[in-house]
Amino acid sequence: MSEKIPSNQPQPIVKIGHYTLGQTLGVGTFGKVKIGEHVLTKHKVAVKILNRQKIKSLDVVGKIRREIQNLKLFRHPHIIKLYQVISTPTDIFMIMEYVSGGELFDYIVKHGKLKEYEARRFFQQIISGVDYCHRHMIVHRDLKPENLLLDHNLHVKIADFGLSNMMMDGEFLRTSCGSPNYAAPEVISGKLYAGPEVDIWSCGIILYALLCGTLPFDDEHVPTLFRKIKSGIFPIPEYLNKSVVSLLCHMKHEWFQKDLPSYLFPSPVEQDSSVIDIDAVNEVCEKFNVKEAEVHSALLGGDPHDQLAIAYHLIIDNKRIADEAAKAELKDFYVASSPPPVAFSPNDTNSSPLRPHPERIAPLRERQSSQGSTSSSTQGARGTPVKRAKWHLGIRSQSKPNDIMSEVYRAMKALNFEWKIINAYSVRVRQKNKLTDRYSKMSLQLYQVDYKSYLLDFKSLSNEEEDIGRGKEL
């Protein structure tokens, strides 16, 4: 007969990887979620513990694999972050962002229908996260208030990507997923759907719940519920203004644009993964007793299990939270710049522009950037006549060369540029100025800096240089 451990005795500390596990936050079908703390940085995380035998017996291995694969891709202020996955023979530990505000569902139950400005703020954040998913070709397929978490600043975090699917161009989905009250007509009818439209429908249901405190389509009898959804007819309370009623019916409206923070929808060209927070790097160096170069190497190496990279992301995410939804600009972000390939005199300088990180913080955009508006001319050494030199801006990356060039083409397409491919890693681009009817031209060239680093270089071209370049090898 085993002896019972006295209740007043301290419980043994459970440690997994660099994290100590604390109290249980919740228990689900596939396992439990515990609060955790990083041993060195002391930042809190949520640890989702999945029993291998259980998920195998419930035939949800694919569901869990999808959730892990999708969350690994995401870095967005309104999507739960997955920092690390630790596997043991018996369990899978998902180290995730910790949020303390509970579910949006509980918030609605407690407060009832919300004021319009509050509902709009939640809704804008949800749409921003959903838009980010769709731009990365992923459909959530189970959006509902229970899967929307709140941090202590009442900012939305989209969670539970187990039902999500990768979207492929030209393909349609038929799987019936999610909760019936939030499901689109094409989903419950078993019809083909591309994917994004079912998430948008669910967002409309969530907006109605935020504004009214109830669901637009609700019935205990499922066939009756399905008939209501397919009919598209729902009660509209008299207290809703005409503008939001129009949005609920069309899901694309000026109501959504009011007080819309610009950080929620960064332009495609703003996605820059080479931006590094110097203060966070220094903190990692101090905690792990390593050099700055080691942290930079970890961040650019692309290894999701690297402890230095994980600690770095924990630090900057918690910094963003501590900054009250990032209302202040961070000054210590930087982008690496390339030296100009032409000879400059010792007095010439070339400074790197400061840019805020697009996905981790809401930047202040009131001030318009004046970068690139100044011009400079240089004189050749000892009075040798030379042509006016061009300024060069380089972006460093340790991604694969083909991936870098794919992002280049995506940005050029978004900006409506025309381009001519010189070779696999060199492109000439131009864009027509509608006012002057003239073209602005430049060349893009990808260089290899060392055995694992690459530099994308930009150079402005004159008409003369472009004509000469057509007949020469770059």
The set of catalytic residues is 142
Listed residue (139, 58, 146, 152) closest to 108, CA to CA: 146
DSSP-based three-state secondary structure for 238: coil
Per-residue tokens: 446: 């990808």
Residue 267: other Cβ atoms inside 10 A: 11
Listed residue (403, 431, 408) closest to 418, CA to CA: 431
Q: Are 46 and 97 in contact (CB under 8 A)?
A: yes
HSE-up of 227 (CA within 13 Å, CB side)?
6
* C-alpha span between 442 and 458 (Å, rounded): 7
Q: What is the secondary structure of 357-371 as a DSSP string?
A: -TTTS----SSPP-T
Listed residue (57, 54, 37) closest to 45, CA to CA: 37
Q: Are 148 and 126 in contact (CB under 8 A)?
A: yes
* C-alpha span between 239 and 222 (Å, rounded): 29
Q: Which residues, other chains included, contact 269 with Cβ-Cβ below 8 Å and sequence gap of 6+?
A: 411, 414, 415
DSSP-based three-state secondary structure for 220: coil
* C-alpha span between 110 and 124 (Å, rounded): 21
Could you give the C-alpha distances from 361 to 44, 264, 317, in angstroms and in order?
19, 9, 9
Q: Are 141 and 178 in contact (CB under 8 A)?
A: yes
Q: Which residues, other chains included, contact 469 with Cβ-Cβ below 8 Å and sequence gap of 6+?
A: 428, 443, 461
Instruction: Confirm or deny that 291 is annotated as ligand binding.
Output: no
Per-residue tokens: 170: 């030209």
HSE-up of 347 (CA within 13 Å, CB side)?
6
Q: Are 287 and 297 in contact (CB under 8 A)?
A: no
HSE-up of 440 (CA within 13 Å, CB side)?
11
Could you give the C-alpha distances from 418 to 308, 427, 455, in angstroms and in order?
41, 10, 22
Listed residue (158, 161, 172) closest to 68, CA to CA: 161
Instruction: List residues forming the annotated binding site for ATP.
Output: 48
Annotated binding site: 48
